[in-house]
Amino acid sequence: MSRFRSYLSHPFWGSLLVLVFSYLGLKFGIGYLLPAVGVHSAPVPSSVLLQYMLTVFVAILLYVSTDEERWRAFKQPIRDVMVDPARRTMRAVLLVAFPVLAGFVTYGRVRAEVGAPPSLRSIHPAPPNDLTFRGERIRLTSLQNPLRESGLLEERVRTGGRLYVQNCVPCHGDRLDGEGPAAHALNPVPADFTDNGSISQLTESYVFWRIAKGGPGLPVEGAPWNSAMPVWEDILTADEIWSVILFIYERSGSRPRTWEEAEGTGEGDEG
Amino acid sequence: MGLQTPWLIAVLAALLASRRCWLVMPALLVAGQAAAQDVERGEAIYRTWCQDCHGEDGKGDGPAADRMLPRPRDFVAARYQIRTTASGALPTDDDLMRVMGEGLPGTAMPGWPNLSDDEKRDVIAYIKSLSPFFERETPETLQRSVDPGGGPEAATAGREIFERLECDRCHGRLGRGDGSSAASLEDWRDLPIRATDLTEPWLFNGGMGADAIHTRFLTGLDGTPMPSNQDALEAGIVTEQDLWHLAHYVASLGPEREPDVEEVVRIERRETLPGGPDDEAWESVRAFYVPLIGQIVEAPRQFSPTVDGVWAQGVHNGSELALRIVWDDPSNSPDPEWQEWQDRIAATLYADEVEIPTDPLPDLLFLQFPSEVPEGRERPYFLMGDGRDPVYLWLWHSRRGAVEARAAGLGAAEALDSAGSGLAASAKWEAGQWRVVFRRPLATEEDGALGFAEGVPIPVAFFASDGSSGETGGRGAISSWYYVVLQPPTSRAAFVAPLIAMLVTGGLGMFAVRRAQRSVHSEGRG
């Protein structure tokens, strides 16, 4: 035990241990341990992991080299392996192992498999100024949901709910979280209306545009060829779409962005 | 509420007759109120989250119900499929909690993690109040024997039980839901019901794994043709052990978990291509699972399609490509035995459509590709392209084989004029499964046809229609864009670069060691 402790206090073995623990912590701690205790997190990509590990390595070198004695102690095991006649076997093994490892890593890199091209899709592309809805020209800028002024709001929300459940649930889900029974087969995944970055960032006119024109109506930066969002103007009337909009805001507990808020910041630029 | 009231009055009356009534009465009144509130609170939650499918009165007839198969549960009739109680009995509260928590795989019923356990209990109190049956009986979980364990022997023994109990009559010889009576199955509401495909356990309503399967054997699925085996057990037709063996056999028919989905279908490079749909060489080629969902983007829509996924595998040899697509479909359409089923599905699911097909329809499979390998990001629309950017199709028909076609929109496919690029297909339907092999030379001169390049991602999307479920003219099951990548021949660089890396690393290592040793020697001398 005491021998183990003396190893730990040795600069070389201590540093090695720090490196190993940093690796484990960054690789598994952030991605898997944090979510297990309820903190929102995701695995660290390998390129970022490499950056972190380099930082840790440099920090270790700085630390061990600040003190002459520590630096000598740190170098000792490395030097021993290189020169000590008693460590011949170890030396030979390492001299073979390192090149083999390097060759292996290089082979993996060179032979890297062709993956799917990256999807550089803009989630909220800039909307047009106006659109043609079933032959009728509608100006989107400053457009408000006409049903909010019509009274009978509760009734309209109920209509919207009925239409939502008949048409939207397979993808956007009963809970409006984009996890409907068909969502697993879609790429890109359906929008999650309960997410802060979703409809609460948008004006109702924007949402109207997205519903009316669907995937095929997206500009090129929205990758219109990928989205399975139907062109709802072919199926629903304008009033029906507006009532669905009322419903999704009401049920998700979010508030549409107003034109005053949208002005100046330039809606849709966030992409 | 209805249950508690008479009981409360009786207890209160008894207490009033006794002398110490003033001590207990307030507590009892509070308890009665709390129970009533449960139902009220539950109803409020029900109105928000449940009634659009399960209906205003709980009869399973909400506005979304008509497009679903199976239909939502009718809480008034109170026939529950997924329970731990005896056949014909009601579910326990725990059973209902489990379903509300996890949902029912393979159906439109999701889990409800957004509701707390207390809220779920309130909803359960409410849906129980919708049926008088819950007042009359207290459901109890069936006692089950201990699992003697699985393994190949248990599965082999289970296979005999499968035959003895004639499970194949509905589920089919290999369990793919294609049994001889599969075309005539109906539930208690006289609606058509599909026999479960036992090779896709991740879609089992009651969950996967031998334990869940065994529970279904004992309880049966009330309201469906799936019976309970409790009577057979009591009559000595099967033993406890038999049912466990059967459960392990059924579990062995499918994978242990839902297959992973990858965006890229890798096409291996080999000297010789596998042959027809049953060539054993296909066994050694990796198969990629692609989940499909109902085509609900454009009319005519299909919310509950037959096909829920395809397996794609491929091999090329530098000049020709062979792709095998395998999917489960209980009927080899058109099949007169399934004609009645086709009509019933149409009446059940397509009632709101203007034209309902009545002819016997074929099974169809479309493989969509762009008409050339895309250079930038732009691709055709994933659902059969559009006028601006049409797709190149492999269109397979269960009776006519495959043709090359182009499409500029759903239902707008046209066969290519000439002989095309030499596409050939061979297909086989067996025991509830289609296996179709496409072969085509990689290069082509044909206008509108895609030339397959090696080592680049080529978009591909799938579309499958089951004729016996009236799927035609755009009705069917679709996927979004995936990619095929033809493995390029291994380049020389793949061997040279690692060699250089090894030489450099080794050389530097030797150099460092030499230097270190020399300095030690000179120190020693010095």
Predicted confidence (pLDDT) per residue in A8-52, tens digit:
788 898 899 999 999 999 888 887 888 777 777 778 888 889 999
Indicate if B417 and B386 belong to the same structural domain.
yes
Closest to B399 in 3D by CA, of B331, B333, B463? B333
Indicate if B284 and B405 belong to the same structural domain.
yes
Return the structure tokens found at B452: 């397959």
Whether residue B105 is contained in a domain is answered as yes
Work out the mean pLDDT of chain A and round it to a whole number. Answer: 88
Closest to B50 in 3D by CA, of B103, B105, B106, B9? B103
Q: Calculate how close chain A gets to B136, using CA atoms only, in Å.
A: 33
Q: Which string of DSSP letters, residue by residue, matches B25-42?
A: HHHHHHHHHHHHHHHHHH
Closest to B226 in 3D by CA, of B188, B252, B256? B188
Whether residue B32 is contained in a domain is answered as no
Indicate if B296 and B427 belong to the same structural domain.
yes
B53/A165 Cβ within 8 A: yes
Give the residue on B whose Cα is nearest the Cα of A119.
B377
The answer for B 320-359 residues in CB contact with A (under 8 A) is none
Indicate if B279 and B417 belong to the same structural domain.
yes
Work out the percent of chain B whose per-residue pLDDT is above 70.
92
Helix residue ranges, H only, B236-382: 240-252, 339-349
Residue B316 is predicted with a pLDDT of 97
Work out the mean pLDDT of chain B and round it to a whole number. Answer: 90
Return the structure tokens found at A137: 């020209």
Q: What ipTM goes with this model?
A: 0.85
Whether residue B473 is contained in a domain is answered as yes
Q: Regarding predicted confidence, which is higher, B391 or B491?
A: B391
Residue B36 is predicted with a pLDDT of 58
- What residues are paired with B2 via a beta bridge? none
Residues on chain A touching B48 (C-beta within 8 angstroms): 251
Average pLDDT over residues A129-148: 90
pLDDT band per the 50, 70, 90 thresholds, residue B419 = low
pLDDT at A184 over 90: yes
Indicate if B194 and B289 belong to the same structural domain.
no
Name every residue whose Cβ is closer than 8 Å to that of residue A243 and which is 6 or more positions away in sequence: A147, A156, A157, A159, A160, A163
Q: What is the CATH number of the domain that holds B396?
A: 2.60.40.1190
pLDDT band per the 50, 70, 90 thresholds, residue B526 = very low
Phi first, then psi: what are they for B426, rounded to 5°?
A: -130, 140
pTM: 0.84
Residues on chain B touching A229 (C-beta within 8 angstroms): 297
Q: Regarding predicted confidence, which is higher, A160 or B418?
A: A160
Return the structure tokens found at A118: 């990256």
- Segment B428-446, tens digit of pLDDT: 999 999 999 999 999 998 8
Q: Look up the domain containing B116 and give its range.
A: 37-136
Mark residue A227 as left, alpha or beta (left: phi above 0; alpha: psi -120 to 50; beta: remaining).
Answer: beta
B293/A99 Cβ within 8 A: no
d(CA A266, CA B468): 52
Whether residue B204 is contained in a domain is answered as yes
Q: Regarding predicted confidence, which is higher, B427 or B23?
A: B427
User: In Å, how far from its chain's centre is CA B277?
Assistant: 23
**B380 → closest Cβ in A167, A186, A225:** A225
Q: According to the per-residue pLDDT averaged within each range, which of A150-159, B25-34, B418-427 is highest?
A: A150-159
For tokens 């709001």, the residue is A153
Q: Is B8 on the interface with A (CB under 8 A)?
A: no
Average pLDDT over residues B488-511: 87
- Segment B184-219, tens digit of pLDDT: 999 999 999 999 999 999 999 999 999 999 999 999
pLDDT at B319 over 80: yes
Indicate if B282 and B312 belong to the same structural domain.
yes
B480/A111 Cβ within 8 A: no
Best residue in B200, B382, B519 for a mutation probing chain A (most A CBs within 10 Å): B382
Best residue in B480, B495, B503, B518 for a mutation probing chain A (most A CBs within 10 Å): B480
Q: What is the CATH number of the domain that holds B95?
A: 1.10.760.10
Give the residue on B whose Cα is nearest the Cα of A185.
B291
Whether residue B12 is contained in a domain is answered as no
d(CA A11, CA A72): 9
To which H or E segment does residue B94 belong? Answer: helix B93-102
Whether residue B143 is contained in a domain is answered as no
Give the residue on B whose Cα is nearest the Cα of A105.
B498
**A116 → closest Cβ in B263, B299, B303:** B263
Domain end: B214, B229, B252, which one?
Answer: B252
Q: Calculate how close chain B gets to A263, using CA atoms only, in Å.
A: 31
pLDDT at B12 over 70: no
Would you tell me how many other CB atoms lie within 10 Å of the CB of residue A181? Answer: 23
| CB-based contact B82:B104 (threshold 8 Å) | yes
The answer for B 449-478 residues in CB contact with A (under 8 A) is 455-457
pLDDT band per the 50, 70, 90 thresholds, residue A176 = very high
Average pLDDT over residues B53-76: 94
pLDDT band per the 50, 70, 90 thresholds, residue B354 = low
**Which of B20-24, B34-38, B474-478, B515-519 shows the lowest per-residue confidence on average (mean pLDDT)?**
B20-24
Return the structure tokens found at A132: 């043609």
pLDDT at B268 over 80: yes
pLDDT at A269 over 50: no
pLDDT band per the 50, 70, 90 thresholds, residue A271 = very low
d(CA A130, CA B97): 49
Return the structure tokens found at A125: 């592309």
Indicate if B227 and B323 belong to the same structural domain.
no
Whether residue B99 is contained in a domain is answered as yes
pLDDT band per the 50, 70, 90 thresholds, residue B8 = low
pLDDT at A253 over 70: yes
Average pLDDT over residues B417-432: 88
**Which of A12-26, B32-46, B80-94 shows the lowest per-residue confidence on average (mean pLDDT)?**
B32-46
A102/B504 Cβ within 8 A: yes
Indicate if B435 and B367 belong to the same structural domain.
yes
- What residues are paired with B397 via a beta bridge? B364, B401
For tokens 């629309």, the residue is B381
pLDDT at A268 over 60: no
Average pLDDT over residues A216-224: 91
Phi first, then psi: what are they for B322, rounded to 5°?
A: -120, 125
Q: Calculate how close chain B gets to A174, using CA atoms only, in Å.
A: 7
Whether residue B63 is contained in a domain is answered as yes
B266/A228 Cβ within 8 A: no
A79/B386 Cβ within 8 A: no
pLDDT at A270 over 50: no
Indicate if B103 and B164 belong to the same structural domain.
no
Closest to B246 in 3D by CA, of B213, B208, B204? B213
- First CA to last CA distance, chain A: 57
Q: Where in chain A is the domain with CATH 1.10.760.10?
A: 130-262
Residue B14 is predicted with a pLDDT of 54
pLDDT band per the 50, 70, 90 thresholds, residue B7 = low
Closest to B187 in 3D by CA, of B68, B299, B270? B68
Closest to A252 in 3D by CA, of A141, A138, A166, A164? A164
Indicate if B207 and B114 belong to the same structural domain.
no
Residue A86 is predicted with a pLDDT of 86
pLDDT at B347 over 70: yes
Domain end: B136, B170, B200, which one?
Answer: B136
Indicate if B78 and B193 belong to the same structural domain.
no
- First CA to last CA distance, chain B: 101
- What residues are paired with B293 via a beta bridge? B478
Q: How many domains does one find in chain B?
A: 4
d(CA A112, CA A117): 14
Indicate if B297 and B355 belong to the same structural domain.
yes
- Segment A57-116, tens digit of pLDDT: 999 999 999 989 999 989 888 888 888 888 889 889 999 999 999 998 888 877 777 888
The CATH architecture that domain A130-262 belongs to is Orthogonal Bundle (1.10)
- Which letter does DSSP use for residue A108 in this model? H
